[in-house]
Structure 1
Amino acid sequence: MPEDDGPGRERTGQAEAFDAIGDRYDEAFPHKEGQLAAGEWLASSLPAGSRVLDLGCGTGVPTARQLTDAGLRVTGVDLSAGMLERARANVPAAEFIRADIAGLGDGGPLTAGSFAGATAFFALLMLPRAEIPGTLRSVHALLAPGGLLALSMVEADVDNVPIPFLGNIIRVSGYLRDDLRRVVTDAGFEVVKEDSYAYAPASVEVPPEEQVFLYCRRA
């Protein structure tokens, strides 16, 4: 399993920041209605026993747990060793691997066409925009024909900018929603539904945000 960032990628401080943040992430974002709704769509659309990829799985809560409880076989991927330690404790029935989500198409540990569905909840925003299209194409390749993808981003016209986040500095990217939809469809997905939520985190250290959820199918 690859545990580095790969050639040409810069992740300085990203994984370390989330190692330090740990359970405070779930404390800062206690209400995840949009994420739960998108996870329910995925779970209700797939037969029990289907394989699902959870990109940027974090602590495994709520998504890996929700999908596992629904009878799906979940593989979670995250670059933060600290988050993965918590995920394995929170969702022992799932499989978790440490890898850069932008490197899954580089001969990584996952097999093309082997997943019926995938989630990427706020995972792509941790990448520079230059790496997001290729990451989506890799997810497309990992999905079986007709496979489903539920993803979310914070709506913002930013590219790899440093921000303070729960006492740490992380780098984030975002799109305005029309641009996000275009990036997703250019990667080979059909957007079948879109939702958005105005979200105010519980922590005053994190500003309010507009969250965009896309429900997609591999075209």
Structure 2
Amino acid sequence: MGTGGDERVGAPRTKGWRGDRTGQAEAFDAIGDRYDEAFPHKEGQLAAGTWLTASLAPGSRVLDLGCGTGTPTARQLTDAGLRVTGVDLSSGMLARARENVPEAEFLRADIADLADGGPLAAGGFDAAAAFFSLLMLPKAEIPFALGSIRDLLRPGGLLALSMVEADLDDTPIPFLGNTIRVSGYLRDELRHVVTDAGFEVTEEESYAYAPASTAVPPEEQIFLYCRRA
């Protein structure tokens, strides 16, 4: 069952790399269900989720980082018999996730809270999903975030992640009537960052995506299927 509350989990574990998140969670609190309305077709995300479900035994523990409303990923993984822990910084998104996937556990936390000594045990997960969550961080933080994810996985654990292909670093953009700051890589650079963080990239997929909302521009989405090296 879900955790039931929206409290921040644990004290901040900055390790010198946590940046300013001002306005990021508040923007997604305000966006709410409009996010799923703007992005109704998530073929790449569903395909990556299918890779995870096909690769894991029932009962395996999966971390859904940046879980949003819980759909489609937490719902998909839970329906496949996996034990899901969703993490998000937006209390509004988590409230929707708890309604959509009551079987899963959810924590309100910044990714910086998940470093050594955080609320989740090192090596406690068989896999992790990070769909468009790392793009919410400045580039300087992304290698540390990937390192934290790696530490949370057992040896050989799986990671499915996605980013929008773009050469951006903590850049403010208008998004569904709000302003968020996003980062992005060109695909070769993204692969280097992921492998340097201790992952083997076993497969890559890309999708040209046109959101349903005219307030969000078309984008190229990159999905990497990875294994902890």
Q: TM-score, normalised by structure 1?
A: 0.98
Report the CA distance between 1:108 and its aligned residue.
Answer: 1.3
SS of the residue aligned with 1:159?
Answer: strand
Which amino acid counterpart does residue 121 of structure 1 have in structure 2?
Answer: F
1:181 matched residue in structure 2: 191
The superposition leaves residues 1-57 of structure 1 with CA deviations (integer Å, 9 ceiling, x where unpaired) of 148695752000000000000000000000000000000000110000000000000
Question: Given that residues 29 and 92 in structure 2 are in contact (C-alpha distance below 8 angstroms), is that contact kept between their aligned partners in structure 1?
Answer: yes
Question: Given that residues 154 and 209 in structure 1 are in contact (C-alpha distance below 8 angstroms), is that contact kept between their aligned partners in structure 2?
Answer: yes
Q: Taking every aligned residue pair, what percent have the same amino acid on both sides?
A: 78
Question: Given that residues 12 and 112 in structure 2 are in contact (C-alpha distance below 8 angstroms), is that contact kept between their aligned partners in structure 1?
Answer: no
Question: Given that residues 197 and 211 in structure 1 are in contact (C-alpha distance below 8 angstroms), is that contact kept between their aligned partners in structure 2?
Answer: yes
Question: Given that residues 3 and 98 in structure 1 are in contact (C-alpha distance below 8 angstroms), is that contact kept between their aligned partners in structure 2?
Answer: no
CA distance in 2, matches of 1:197, 1:90: 26
| Residue in structure 2 matching 1:47, options 57, 60, 65 | 57
Q: TM-score, normalised by structure 2?
A: 0.93
Report the CA distance between 1:101 and its aligned residue.
Answer: 1.4
1:165 matched residue in structure 2: 175
Question: Given that residues 5 and 100 in structure 1 are in contact (C-alpha distance below 8 angstroms), is that contact kept between their aligned partners in structure 2?
Answer: no
Which amino acid counterpart does residue 166 of structure 2 have in structure 1?
Answer: A
1:202 matched residue in structure 2: 212
The superposition leaves residues 69-110 of structure 1 with CA deviations (integer Å, 9 ceiling, x where unpaired) of 000000000000000000000000000000001331052110
Indicate yes or no: 2:146 matched with 1:136: yes
Which amino acid counterpart does residue 42 of structure 1 have in structure 2?
Answer: L
| Residue in structure 2 matching 1:76, options 52, 74, 86 | 86
Indicate yes or no: 2:104 matched with 1:60: no
2:41 matched residue in structure 1: 31
CA distance in 2, matches of 1:67, 1:114: 17
1:151 matched residue in structure 2: 161
CA distance in 2, matches of 1:50, 1:70: 10
2:98 matched residue in structure 1: 88
CA distance in 2, matches of 1:163, 1:196: 22
Question: Given that residues 4 and 99 in structure 1 are in contact (C-alpha distance below 8 angstroms), is that contact kept between their aligned partners in structure 2?
Answer: no
Question: Given that residues 2 and 98 in structure 1 are in contact (C-alpha distance below 8 angstroms), is that contact kept between their aligned partners in structure 2?
Answer: no
Unaligned stretches of 5+ in structure 1? none
Which amino acid counterpart does residue 59 of structure 2 have in structure 1?
Answer: G
SS of the residue aligned with 1:96?
Answer: strand
CA distance in 2, matches of 1:177, 1:75: 28
Question: Given that residues 163 and 223 in structure 2 are in contact (C-alpha distance below 8 angstroms), is that contact kept between their aligned partners in structure 1?
Answer: yes
Judged with a 3 Å threshold, the aligned counterparts in structure 2 of structure 1 residues 164 and 203 are, in CA distance, closer, same or farther, namely same
1:110 matched residue in structure 2: 120
Moved over 6 A (4+): none
Question: Given that residues 11 and 113 in structure 2 are in contact (C-alpha distance below 8 angstroms), is that contact kept between their aligned partners in structure 1?
Answer: no
1:127 matched residue in structure 2: 137
